[in-house]
A and B are shown apart, each in its own frame.
Chain A
Amino acid sequence: MDALVERVTRTVAMRTSRRGILGMLGKLIAGAMVLPLLPVERVSARANTAEAAEEGDPLSCDYWRYCGFDGSLCGCCGGSTTQCPPGTMMSPTSWVGSCKHPIDGKDYMIGYRDCCGKDQCGRCFCQNNKGDMPLYRTQLDNGVTWCFGTASFVVNCTTAVKLGLKS
């Protein structure tokens, strides 16, 4: 799996967009062609939902939250799994994936939020396509540049914010 991921990942190396997906989540977000905005405040609030302790290396593409990831890991670019690098703009929008926590075995919603406004960081490219759909399911397309709501569609890297348990 790692090898596969890395391989695809490399190809994506260029910059690209990102966003993973979540088949079932699609239903939740579906009608939202209009705007998948997840205001920052709401995201941080929900990120505190109780769950098992973290496990794994957030700088590795096989870290559990990255099951739908597509882009450079912000942790390798001056940010972290939940922080954008200095001087970039975190998009208030994202696509949302669903990944299984390795410890409690539950599925969590993960918001793959782009950090925009600086050129591609280029480090730690990671592409996992679980749940990735074509553009007609826009909210589930990790090939879209999710910089809506920021001042630039140039992507620096991508975060993976835990939004809470999948209901």
Chain B
Amino acid sequence: MSRKAWSLLFVIFLICVTAMTVPAQPPPPEGVSVRELGPIQPHWVFLISPAGVDSEEATKVEVIDGDSLQFLGMLTGGVLGTAAVSPDHRFIYMADTFYSRGARGVRTDVVTTYDARRLAPVREVIIPPKRQQTIPPDSSALALTPDGRLLLVANLTPATSMTVVDLGSNKVLGEIETPGCTGILISGPRRFESLCGDGTMISIDFNDSGRMTASQRMARPFFDPEKDPVFSVPAVLGHTAYFVSYHAMVYPVDWSVEPPKAGTPWSMLTDAQRREGWRPGGYQPLAGYAPGNLFYVLMHRGGQWSHKQAGIEVWVYSAQHRRRVDRIVLPRPGTDLYVTRDSDPRLFVVSLPELNGPPTPTALQSFSTRTGRYLGVLDQLPGFPLWMFGAP
């Protein structure tokens, strides 16, 4: 072997030894972190899923970007929790019930404040352990005053009352009793309305101390609960609340005055539509779009007592003209409906699994309200979302 060859071998030997003795350079570290969200956008939507198929101990609040139809994150609460977003969009409030041993033990009811960007709890206040436990967890069970300073939580023992929480000092201020009447429908800076079992509505004024200062009840019912009950949560357009009934009547109530003043009821249906059996239905069958003076209703064809049946179409009504102005056929039947409040609004519809037919995942469908065009769907939503809301 020539000298040159030996030199080459020596160099190769050196390289090998070096490779064995010098540790390999690790790849640059992959950044890990916990994601934070940006500011809440007009088409974000929040879904409350009070439970899964076989569990009811941990309510989920699912945060979804309705533009990209991406799942952004979630909150985990307790038994039949409810939630709302602060007017400044900085916080999400969730009212929950927990038991110290899961399904048993000491009951604690609590309002938790979450940072809206981190979806993480920042503080909590213990409230009296008598929160209303109902399905669906609708928006009349938890309400913020328009200035975002006070939070009202509905109680049911089954006597009815509202716990008032001061969000500034994070303290329970007091309790307002509403015997025979349920629901918190905010109608003024320090006023809410409740529906009563006899078909009347009561206005309740309260102060910064969380105490009732006045109440006025309608002299006469504005609907007949025996013959044609209304769904509990109205579409609010301006100062008028539009209630829709099991039999597709519209009951307007002007709540700019005390007590609230009932308007003239009108039917959503033509005679032909009535013969075809069209009715409103679902867990959240009604949504309003105040800028357009419109309301949206999930409609199905069914008989009496089909008021929780999923809708196959969304019918759009002009409150001013008292007539239907649009009709959107749903790719999948839906039980919850929500319309965003911006100038280019989206209509969202939640579809729950059906037993008959091929298995379908829980899904959120999106539509443009301007054109009625179907924009897409987000599948595999966790749990069974039964109520939807957006940021005020």
- Which residues of chain A have a CB within 8 Å of any CB of chain B? 3-4, 6-17, 23, 26-27, 30, 33-36, 93, 117-122, 127-139, 141, 143-145, 147-148, 151-155
Contact = CB atoms under 8 A, between A and B. Distances in A.
B335 interface: yes
Contact of A134 (B57, B133, B195, B306): B195
B356 A129 contact: no
Tier of interface size on chain B: 35 or more
Contact of A145 (B133, B194, B386): B133
Contacts of A33: 158-160, 179-180, 197
Contacts of B335: 11
A7 B182 contact: no
Nearest to B51: A14
Contact of A17 (B54, B135, B225): B135
Given A14-B384, A152-B99, A137 B135 contact: no
B353 A10 contact: yes
A7 B310 contact: yes
Contacts of A141: 134
B160 to A, nearest CB: 7
Given A129-B306, A132-B305, A145-B134, A10 B197 contact: no
A122 B356 CA distance: 18
Contacts of B355: 3, 6-7, 9-10
The 9 closest A-B CB pairs, nearest first, are A15-B56, A122-B54, A14-B51, A154-B103, A145-B133, A11-B352, A143-B135, A136-B195, A134-B232
B57 A119 contact: yes
Given A138-B182, A143-B135, A153-B133, A119 B56 contact: yes
A138 B156 contact: yes
A154 B96 CA distance: 13
A30 B99 contact: no
18 contacts: A6-B355, A7-B354, A10-B354, A13-B53, A13-B353, A15-B51, A16-B135, A33-B160, A34-B159, A35-B159, A133-B225, A136-B194, A136-B197, A136-B225, A138-B197, A145-B134, A153-B79, A155-B56
Contacts of A119: 54-57, 102-103
Contacts of A15: 50-51, 55-56
Contacts of B305: 128-132
A11 B183 contact: no
Contacts of B307: 129, 132
Contacts of A8: 308-310
Contacts of A133: 225, 229
A136 B306 contact: no
Contacts of B35: none
Contacts of A6: 355-356
Given A33-B179, A134-B232, A138-B156, A17 B352 contact: no
B5 to A, nearest CB: 78
Interface centre among A15, A137, A138, A139 (most CB of B within 10 A): A15
